[in-house]
Amino acid sequence: MSEVNESLTPMLKSFTNELVVALINLDLHPPQSPLVQDNLNQLIWDLRAIFSAGFASPLCVQLIGGQIRIEGESMVGPSLQAGRLLQLAKDRDIVELSFDREVQKGELLRFIDLLSSDNEKEAFHPSVLPRALSSNGIEHITVTLRGQIPGDSSSSSHGDPAMQDYQALADVLQENHVAAFRGENLELDRAAGVVEQALAHMGESPSDLMALANYDDIDSFTVGHSVRVALLALQVASATGATEDELLRVGTAALMHDIGKSRIPQEILFKQGPLDQDEWAIMMEHPRLGAEILLEQDKIDPRAIGAAFCHHMTPGDRGYPQPALPFEPSGISKLVRVCDVFEALTSVRPYKGAMTPVEAFVVMHREEGGFDPDWLNFFEQIIGIYPLGTRLKMESGEEAVVTAHGPTISQPQVRLLLDPQGKPLPASADQIIIVGEEAEGRKFCIKEITSGQRPETDEEAIIDQAISTPQHPCI
């Protein structure tokens, strides 16, 4: 297969993101709702843009090995929250979807509805599929089943373990948000199970999951944000010497801390730009709503309820909600608050770039009385200025990922990923180095952090704006 032109990558990523989100939206809303219609319109717009930019029709999207691929290139970000799409494809033996330039919005809607319906699973049997597509007016979308491509080895492809664990976290969180939206019982036991899987992976290779977190930018119910908060909380709690049972409680509480956002109108939750006073008042209800949702569940850990209710409370009583009687939040709640704000500041949002960890720490320290000082200081010690999974570019041109802390806070241990020309390094290469120490007869020095996109502004301006703006990204 030919390599994807770099200029097309953002369009291909947008299309696959929208395809993933379309399945979620149709679970929650009727087809005529503005959210579903906007989603479909964006899918069509992306397709038109891709073909106008010179991509030859059809656009073939492979759903194999636990990932979404186009022309053999993995769409890593969209794949992270594509657990349901990939599972639907696996259950129906689908390995590829092809979209012609003539596909229309209504046709896309009918296809997604057919794909996601449990009652229509048999429609994807090889002997039935052509008739099922035709009877639903689906003429410009082609479905390729396992075994229909010469040399197809998808059945033996098991996927990347780190991505599977990350997808499991995102998938269970997404399902619980949908259940909370519908007023149904949550699957908290399953949530604890996937947290346990993540713990095992972090014990073996902690940087892998954190590195994937840098790719996850789908907004659905802020799922990516909550997964990253959970991974940060687990990393910090592990350093305290917490037992496995305690870590499960921490991870589950952190994963579910924003469950109340399932009850916030999505036009407010995903608004592009500042919220007005009335919208802000509604948004500030999500901690209380989250606590109410969790209180309705059987055998719920009280600390999970506390994390949902307290993660915007401050020791200086300037947070929200304001309790009727004063009380002291639990240690888990205090840790989740620190992780929540740090993640929000260091992640890309539609309305902002990502701060570096140093910038985020400056903002957090300047917010007087905003955090428990012991937890904030311990968090800084464990996470450092180059957190695990951070992507870096070396002055010599190589790209690397942080795998461990080094001898000083400015000298992390990294694994080299790409050579100066942007090509993957061979597996046989000695890829682990300490920044600033001699390796291969030279020293590797950091040029920049590449995990997120930063605004082209000086650091003091970024920090001052985040502190002075009432609705800075810590909502």
- DSSP line for 115-159: HH-GGGGGGGSTTTHHHHHHHTT--SEEEEETTSSTT--GGG---
Structure tokens at 192: 């604890």
The answer as to whether 471 is a domain residue is no
pLDDT number for residue 471: 40
pLDDT number for residue 318: 79
The last residue of a domain, from among 99, 131, 156: 156
Q: One-letter amino acid identity for 260?
A: G
Both 165 and 281 in one domain: the answer is yes
Cα–Cα distance, 438 to 444 (Å, whole number): 7
Both 370 and 411 in one domain: the answer is no
Both 34 and 151 in one domain: the answer is yes
pLDDT number for residue 256: 97
The answer as to whether 466 is a domain residue is no
The answer as to whether 288 is a domain residue is yes
Both 264 and 396 in one domain: the answer is no
Inter-CA distances, 177 with 174, 186, 233, 294, Å? 5, 8, 20, 12
Cα–Cα distance, 416 to 39 (Å, whole number): 38
Inter-CA distances, 230 with 41, 113, 126, 225, 349, Å? 33, 32, 42, 9, 18
The answer as to whether 468 is a domain residue is no
The answer as to whether 315 is a domain residue is yes
Both 215 and 109 in one domain: the answer is no
**How many domains would you assign to the chain?**
3
Segments forming the whole domain that contains residue 129: 6-156
Both 128 and 229 in one domain: the answer is no
Both 89 and 211 in one domain: the answer is no
Q: What does the buried/exposed string (b/e) look like for 319-351 if buried means 16 or more CB atoms within 10 Å of the residue's CB?
A: bbeeeeeeeebbbbbbbbbbbbbbbbbbbeeee
Cα–Cα distance, 66 to 68 (Å, whole number): 7
The CATH number for 274's domain is 1.10.3210.10
pLDDT number for residue 458: 47
pLDDT number for residue 473: 37
- Per DSSP, 6 falls in state G
ω into 34 cis (within 30 of 0): no
**What are the φ/ψ torsions at residue 321 (nearest 5 degrees)?**
-75, 160
pLDDT tens, position by position, 121-155: 999 999 999 999 999 999 999 999 998 765 555 54
Cα–Cα distance, 143 to 129 (Å, whole number): 8
pLDDT number for residue 274: 84
pTM listed for this prediction:
0.87
Cα–Cα distance, 226 to 218 (Å, whole number): 12
For residue 37, the tally of other CB atoms under 10 A from its CB is: 15
Are the C-beta atoms of 1 and 71 separated by less than 8 Å? yes
The last residue of a domain, from among 112, 139, 156: 156
Both 403 and 276 in one domain: the answer is no
Mean pLDDT (10-residue bins), the chain, 475 residues:
68 93 88 91 95 92 93 89 93 96 95 93 94 96 85 58 93 95 94 95 85 76 90 95 96 97 90 88 96 94 96 87 85 96 85 83 90 94 90 91 88 90 76 86 87 51 47 39
Both 241 and 302 in one domain: the answer is yes
Q: CB neighbours of 434 closer than 8 A, spacing ≥ 6?
A: 406, 407, 411, 412, 413, 414
The answer as to whether 456 is a domain residue is no
The answer as to whether 473 is a domain residue is no
* Strand runs labelled E in 228-293: none
pLDDT number for residue 348: 75
Both 96 and 239 in one domain: the answer is no
The answer as to whether 236 is a domain residue is yes
Both 421 and 284 in one domain: the answer is no
pLDDT number for residue 2: 44
Are the C-beta atoms of 194 and 252 separated by less than 8 Å? no
pLDDT tens, position by position, 386-407: 998 888 999 999 999 999 888 8
Both 268 and 364 in one domain: the answer is yes
pLDDT number for residue 410: 86
The last residue of a domain, from among 137, 156, 175: 156
What is Dmax (Cα atoms) for the chain? Answer: 68
